[in-house]
Structure 1
Amino acid sequence: MEAIRKSAAEIEKGDLPILVLSEADVKGLIDPLQLLDALADGFRDLSAGLVQAPERPEITIPRKGFSLAMPAWRVGMSIAVKVVNVFEANLDIGLTNHLATINLFDPSTGAPQCVMDGTYITAIRTAASAVLSVRQLSRRESRTATIVGAGVQGRQHLDLLPLVRDFDEIRVASLHHEDAISLAKTHPKAVAVVNVKQAVGTSDVVCLASHSYQPVIEAGWVRPGTHVSSVGYAPPSGELPRELLDISKLFVETADAFKSPPVGCAELKGWDVSTATLLGDAISGKRSGRESAAQITLYKAMGVAMEDLVAANLVYSAAKSRGVGQIATL
């Protein structure tokens, strides 16, 4: 017997079960190697136009911080919507300066499925995209890396870099040398350095991972054949020297990187978009990556919602299969 369809006025939402995943849950569910491979697929899909990820809006709280909303979806995945808040003064009260949550929704009905911590996902997916660029673009014989920045991103880069190249030494530099020393102690191949110019000038890979409002290196320090990545977001300027754009082959996540913040990268504002290659096109082989051993390659990240989409869906799938998390009623 055919069911009688109720009118909209007769239907109430009722209680909906929602999976809630803490930061500890998320950390325990992410496999870094799996994430790198999933992001490679995500970048290919993004370049091919298979990912919906509209421009991120920003709310600015004067003299306090800002909040970004980052939605994304791809066929076969749950809809993901991240809200990330960046409040620098949090560090003075012992709270991280980046705080985020990610909500997942059923693409068939729009019903909420999961609320998870997004702070750790933001940290690891940002570093993972940069490290993916190292895997794709650095010379395979690269043995020395320098990380500029000893905060959250410095730590994530240090954890992930050894997964893609057999580095003999990973140097850590920071505005506060004691922070570099503390971070270097966490990894057997890491060493804290004071002379950033010398470290950069003798490295095969340079990862800029700071929250600096001005360049943390000079373009002239970078030797031929180096791969440089930059993940810092600190408009109106930023950690990357624009002069490096003149002497390197540039790779970005999407063409939106050239728009004004909060959508794009401050360091790329006004630059010719035609000079860049999408990382996804290099991964798919649609366009060339590194073209010679002497070429300087540069990956500038703005952080796109596709990365959150991929990571959050990986976490959600793992949580369901392992029975991790708490069920709440909405």
Structure 2
Amino acid sequence: MKTLLLKKEEVSRLINMQEVIDSVEEAYKAFNSGQVEQPDYLGIHLPSPRGEIDFKLCYFSENEMISMKSSSGGFNDNPTAYGVPSGMGTILLFDARTGGLACVMDGSLITGLRTGAAGAVSVKLLARKDARKITSIGTGNQARMQIRAINEVMKIQEIHAWDSSPESLAKYKSDIEREFGTPVKAAKSKQEAVEQADILVTTTRGKGSLVEAAWVRPGTHIVAIGTDQKGKQELDPEIFRNAKIVNDSLSQCTEKGETWHPLNKNIITRNDIHAEIGEILLGKKLGREDEEEITIFDSTGMAIQDNATASKIYQNAVEQGLGTYFAFFEK
């Protein structure tokens, strides 16, 4: 048996953002259709100045693939001390029919792409149809990915952005305006940025409330990306009190997502969570129902997203003859 090796540059050539959005939609529907086995993911937190490594595992019966992804982040000394990125990822794809390793691919790009696509899927289902202005709290790589993905599903008129780092904010403004030609307004405060939002995207690694409930206008759709582990937080829990709450995974979001915070403070109960996003895609639950409701998509990230996206990349690689094969053993 031979195993396909795909490097980061090859992965980037093998999929586009619309294909990722389609794969993520497929993943969400599969998750709520009994086609997925997805154990709780594991995380290892290492002593400072090192960061964390997460491991996510998934079996998807439709494509007969088992995926396993390692994803690291917060290793801030890496670029200067070791000459490697502060966050890295690797995905292994196993053929579920044999248990054999079918593909090893760089996973750092996939994580960014599928997380961006998740936000775009939520915008399609939960944002107002006349939404035109996006606010980004946080201006790192994922903030850019969110814009790239959301740009596929709606016309973005303007972007308001805030970051605790003026240098990062300035670079984000320059990069986004050059890539999309969409004006970016650098906000002087978080409140100023949030009050402009039709769609609010939070992509920080925050450890406290960054967005206050009083700042969020009726009709806003919130894409909450940054909270995927206990100890992280971006939103004032009061925002959830009268909002329509949608999770990617109810079990994950109530244990380690943004949704945990209002639950912990008894602001909401589990019964107040409207749906998992796959249920809306399948037509089991409704999306946005009126122009005034505040909608929240709490995205903790799921292994099935990696599985569906990586499997599409693997399929494209085989069809295009891209990548390098190697064998651990010969029959």
Q: TM-score, normalised by structure 1?
A: 0.89
* Worse-matched range after superposition: 87-96 or 227-236: 87-96
Are the equivalent residues in 1 in contact too, given 2:20–2:113 (CA < 8 A)?
Answer: no
Residues 14-62 of structure 1 deviation map (CA, whole Å, 9 limit, x = unaligned): xx42111111111111211121122112111112222111101222323
Residues 68-94 of structure 1 deviation map (CA, whole Å, 9 limit, x = unaligned): 211112123221111112234246636
* Worse-matched range after superposition: 51-60 or 61-70: 61-70
Tell me if 1:189 matches 2:185. no
Residues 90-120 of structure 1 deviation map (CA, whole Å, 9 limit, x = unaligned): 4663643321100001111000010000111
SS at match of 2:241: helix
Q: What is the aligned length?
A: 314
Are the equivalent residues in 2 in contact too, given 1:237–1:267 (CA < 8 A)?
Answer: no
Tell me if 1:219 matches 2:213. yes
SS at match of 2:234: coil
Question: 1:107 and 1:311 mapped to 2: Cα distance?
Answer: 16
SS at match of 1:171: strand
Are the equivalent residues in 2 in contact too, given 1:20–1:115 (CA < 8 A)?
Answer: yes
* Worse-matched range after superposition: 157-166 or 86-95: 86-95
Bigger-Rg structure (1/2): 1
Partner of 2:51: 65
**Counterparts in 2 of 1:28-47, with a 5 A limit?**
28-47=13-32
Per the TM alignment, residue 265 of structure 1 is displaced from its structure 2 partner at its CA by 6.1
SS at match of 1:239: strand
Partner of 1:10: none
Per the TM alignment, residue 161 of structure 1 is displaced from its structure 2 partner at its CA by 1.7
Q: What amino acid is aligned across from residue 25 of structure 2 in structure 1?
A: A
Partner of 1:11: none
Question: 1:272 and 1:257 mapped to 2: Cα distance?
Answer: 15
Tell me if 1:326 matches 2:320. no
Partner of 2:37: 52
Structure 1: gaps (5+ residues) = 1-15
Question: 2:26 and 2:262 mapped to 1: Cα distance?
Answer: 25
Question: 1:258 and 1:189 mapped to 2: Cα distance?
Answer: 32
Partner of 1:5: none
Partner of 1:110: 99
Tell me if 1:26 matches 2:1. no
Question: 1:110 and 1:102 mapped to 2: Cα distance?
Answer: 15
Tell me if 1:100 matches 2:100. no
Distance 1:95-1:46 versus aligned 2 partners, 3 A rule? same
Partner of 1:291: 289
Q: What amino acid is aligned across from residue 324 of structure 2 in structure 1?
A: Q
**Counterparts in 2 of 1:49-198, with a 5 A limit?**
49-63=34-48, 64-77=50-63, 78-90=65-77, 93=80, 95-187=84-176, 188-191=181-184, 192-198=186-192
SS at match of 2:175: coil
Partner of 2:308: 310
Q: What amino acid is aligned across from residue 107 of structure 2 in structure 1?
A: G
Question: 2:263 and 2:316 mapped to 1: Cα distance?
Answer: 39
Distance 1:92-1:104 versus aligned 2 partners, 3 A rule? closer
**Counterparts in 2 of 1:273-284, with a 5 A limit?**
273-276=270-273, 277-284=275-282
Q: What amino acid is aligned across from residue 28 of structure 1 in structure 2?
A: R
Tell me if 1:253 matches 2:248. yes
Question: 1:273 and 1:87 mapped to 2: Cα distance?
Answer: 31
Q: TM-score, normalised by structure 2?
A: 0.89
Residues 287-310 of structure 1 deviation map (CA, whole Å, 9 limit, x = unaligned): 111111000000011111011011
Are the equivalent residues in 2 in contact too, given 1:172–1:190 (CA < 8 A)?
Answer: no
Question: 2:54 and 2:39 mapped to 1: Cα distance?
Answer: 12
- From 211, 226, 231, the counterpart of 1:232: 226
Q: What amino acid is aligned across from residue 162 of structure 2 in structure 1?
A: A
Partner of 2:201: 207
Are the equivalent residues in 2 in contact too, given 1:203–1:226 (CA < 8 A)?
Answer: yes
Per the TM alignment, residue 198 of structure 1 is displaced from its structure 2 partner at its CA by 2.0
Give identity over the alignment, percent.
26
Alignment RMSD (CA, Å): 1.9
Are the equivalent residues in 1 in contact too, given 2:5–2:103 (CA < 8 A)?
Answer: yes
Structure 2: gaps (5+ residues) = none
Partner of 1:300: 298
Residues 301-329 of structure 1 deviation map (CA, whole Å, 9 limit, x = unaligned): 11110110111011101111111111122
SS at match of 1:73: strand
